[in-house]
A and B are shown apart, each in its own frame.
Chain A
């Protein structure tokens, strides 16, 4: 089963462009990242530049509307993520609990949809998606 661990750092919604994480926090996080990798569960991980450098697109009336960051009304924003492959939701939560996160950080654990999770008619309509993922160099988890 694949899960995303979504890092939600309180306050990142107002971080200025060019903000980088503090070196000591990064070192602790790298140790954690290595433990995930050594356990054979780590599939992917990334950090994200703050939303002040990003953009949002909505589609009111079907027409795209672009808004540049920062987003004043955002209460939470994503700071980064890990994708892991584990045997159960409990195991995913256990890994999230081991993250050297601070009191200002929340980790949201979310299960990734696999093709086999969908009813047959949806699988048929989405046929070719798995093949497309292979072509893009990414493979489906078990």
Chain B
């Protein structure tokens, strides 16, 4: 089962404050454990929302607003993609995220849609189209 493990933002991530060297080192070791366990599919950090933008769609015209965005705790600072056997396994790994500075941060665990999650409305043609798309994306990596 594939899960997106979302690191929510806080005032430090939004201010572009770098994690401590200890945190970076321990996070590196944690990431290596994830790779060795065969769980790690991807992991990325995002620049603060001050560098971002939001697009809204009303009356057929897209409207763009520049960041930063004020609801910090709703924002995303980074994420991993993990392949695990269950949500419980994902939770166990999340509990072990290194935190030497003792900060309180929030991690959201969300299951990723797979083809088998859909019923008959996801037709054989549509499934094939999706598979072809993913193959082409994978060959670009």
| Contact between chains at B104 and A57 (CB < 8 Å) | no
Bound Cα distance A80, B119 (Å): 19
Which residues in window 55-109 of B have CB below 8 A to A?
55-59, 62, 64, 69, 71, 74, 76, 78, 81, 87, 90-91, 94-95, 99, 102-109
| Contact between chains at A58 and B47 (CB < 8 Å) | no
| Contact between chains at B54 and A133 (CB < 8 Å) | no
List, in ascending order, chain A residues with CB within 8 A of B108's CB. Answer: 51, 54-56, 78
Given A62-B102, A113-B44; A93-B55 close (CB under 8 Å): yes
Bound Cα distance A52, B25 (Å): 34
A102 within 8 A of partner (CB): yes
Which residues in window 29-54 of A have CB below 8 A to B?
30, 33-34, 37, 40, 42-49, 51, 53-54
Tell which of B46, B95, B140 touches A4, judged by Cβ atoms closer than 8 Å.
B46
Bound Cα distance A127, B29 (Å): 11
Bound Cα distance A37, B131 (Å): 13
| Contact between chains at B76 and A59 (CB < 8 Å) | no
List, in ascending order, chain A residues with CB within 8 A of B49's CB. Answer: 108, 110
A88 within 8 A of partner (CB): no
Q: What number of B residues sit within 8 Å (CB to CB) of A?
A: 69
One digit per residue, 1 when the CB lies within 8 angstroms of any chain B CB and 0 when it does not, for chain A 112-127 equals 1100011101100111
Tell which of B104, B118, B137, B141 touches A45, judged by Cβ atoms closer than 8 Å.
B137
Tell which of A55, A58, A78 touches B105, judged by Cβ atoms closer than 8 Å.
A58
Please give 14 more A-B residue pairs, beta carbons under 8 A apart, in addition to A2-B44, A51-B110, A54-B108: A4-B76, A46-B113, A48-B112, A49-B112, A57-B95, A58-B104, A61-B104, A89-B53, A99-B57, A102-B57, A111-B51, A112-B44, A126-B28, A132-B31
Q: Write the residues of chain A forming the contact surface with B, with a CB cutoff of 8 angstroms.
A: 2, 4, 6, 20, 23, 26-27, 30, 33-34, 37, 40, 42-49, 51, 53-62, 64, 66, 74-76, 78, 80-81, 83, 89, 93, 96-97, 99, 101-103, 105-113, 117-119, 121-122, 125-129, 132-133, 135-139
